[in-house]
Amino acid sequence: MFDLPAVHDLSRRNLLKGMLAVGAVGTLGGLTACGDTASPGENGGGTTGMMHYIANVLALESASRGLQEGMKQLGGEFKSTSFDGDQQKMMSQPQLFRSLGVTGVLSALVADGSLGQYAATLSKQKISYLNIGNRPQWSSPADPRFDGYFLGTMGASFAEETYVMANLLFRRGGGRGKAILLGGVKGGLSSDARMFGVLEALKKYPDIQVVATTYADWDTTKAQSEIAALLPAYPDVDYVVSMNDGMALGALAALKAARNTRALLMGADGDPTFLDAMATEERLVGTAAGVLTAVGAFAAAKIYDAAHGVKFNPLESFLNYDSLVIDTPAAAQALLEITSPDSPFPFDARKMSRHLQGDNWELQHKFQVADVESFDWGSKPGVNAAPRPNGFEWSADYQAALDAGGIKTLNDDWTNRLNDPYAGVRAKAETKTGVQGTFEVLGLTV
């Protein structure tokens, strides 16, 4: 979810700077371990999962909790470190991970363009890798250069999330008025996808005027500053269309300081802090909850399985996770009771493990294999549209799985494996379905 230009300068000097940033292990972002060291077999077998991310980003803190609890359930260990948004640290720190005993990494990078180099760094150390939210066009985790260690990228259906939420926002506001669009990272793929969804929704509301568009890098404090700077020019704004929960909370603070009591806001991600605020802030109309705690637990199971020799279908290298539509305070409270850090952990990574369960493994959050070639990158609707480069070819095993109709086969199978824990949440929401499939129903994928 974080995108900046790629940096490829990894000189010895810069690597040493990264090592100092890591801080001789002890200050590796508050490096921690959990779980028991187990012998190979049905326990962790020395499996160690690392969360590598920007700390204090609400959604990523949820993913980190999921990975930590999942590794604990599997008898493995958990470590974490933050690169604080510093791309140099982001690229140099992973070169030390094998020396720390890391066997698998879950990360969200600040640069889509750095994904290949980052994954190659881990692959050379025989460390398995899962990514959240970065999906550069016409590149593949199944590329032979990663030697099977790049297990894949996972992302929400970003454009469908914001299409659904923007429709909800505009309906609640009567379908007319002035709007400020608040994006993530300008030019970033996930931010562009979420902006695509909002712009599609706006086509249905000719009486809504977009008076300003600004970007806040997914950051709560920056969002507050950006909206505060715009409000003197637009004091009577009716909507702040925020592309994630943290920025919505920052915008809300700016609106309160300016004594604007009219503007409605939306979010995306389903962060516990936002869910809690929905109980008292009526103008937070809702959020699309991807539940990254569940994504982190799923990643723990895949890291554990990879360490125990499980081979995955190459089509699994592109996965989308569904998002719940949280459109009432009661639904927000119900989801908060499941996902709050103060609540018992609701997911069981052991049941998601193919090594432990064989063919009886299950999903506890809805995932789908993504058809990136004709949906995410193509013209149907091409939320991050990019033409297929001349001469581009998928790896042989990925292409063979595509030709065999493997995407539909896997998605049908995974639908049957789903053990959905959210029935109580949906019962209290107005919208009972998730966001996946929204564009298909609307005909936007044709």
Encode pLDDT of 128-180 as tens digits.
999 998 989 899 999 999 999 999 999 988 899 999 999 999 999 999 999 99
pLDDT at 178: 98
Q: What are the φ and ψ backbone dihedral angles of 89, each rounded to 5 degrees?
A: -65, -40
Tell me which residue of 159, 240, 248, 169 sits closest to 200, measured CA to CA.
Answer: 159
Tokens of 60: 């990523």
Distance, CA of 172 to CA of 285 (rounded, Å): 8
pLDDT at 9: 37
Binning pLDDT at 50, 70 and 90, where does residue 265 land?
very high
Binning pLDDT at 50, 70 and 90, where does residue 24 land?
very low
pLDDT at 12: 32
Percent of the chain's residues with pLDDT above 90? 73
Tell me which residue of 50, 75, 73, 77 sits closest to 63, measured CA to CA.
Answer: 50
**Lowest-confidence range among 163-167, 218-222, 379-383, 407-411?**
379-383
> Is the model's pLDDT at 250 over the cut of 70?
yes
Distance, CA of 344 to CA of 39 (rounded, Å): 27
pTM for the whole thing? 0.85
Encode pLDDT of 384-431 as tens digits.
778 888 999 999 999 999 999 999 999 999 999 999 999 999 999 999
Tokens of 318: 């592109």
pLDDT at 305: 98
Binning pLDDT at 50, 70 and 90, where does residue 442 land?
confident
Binning pLDDT at 50, 70 and 90, where does residue 279 land?
very high
Percent of the chain's residues with pLDDT above 70? 88
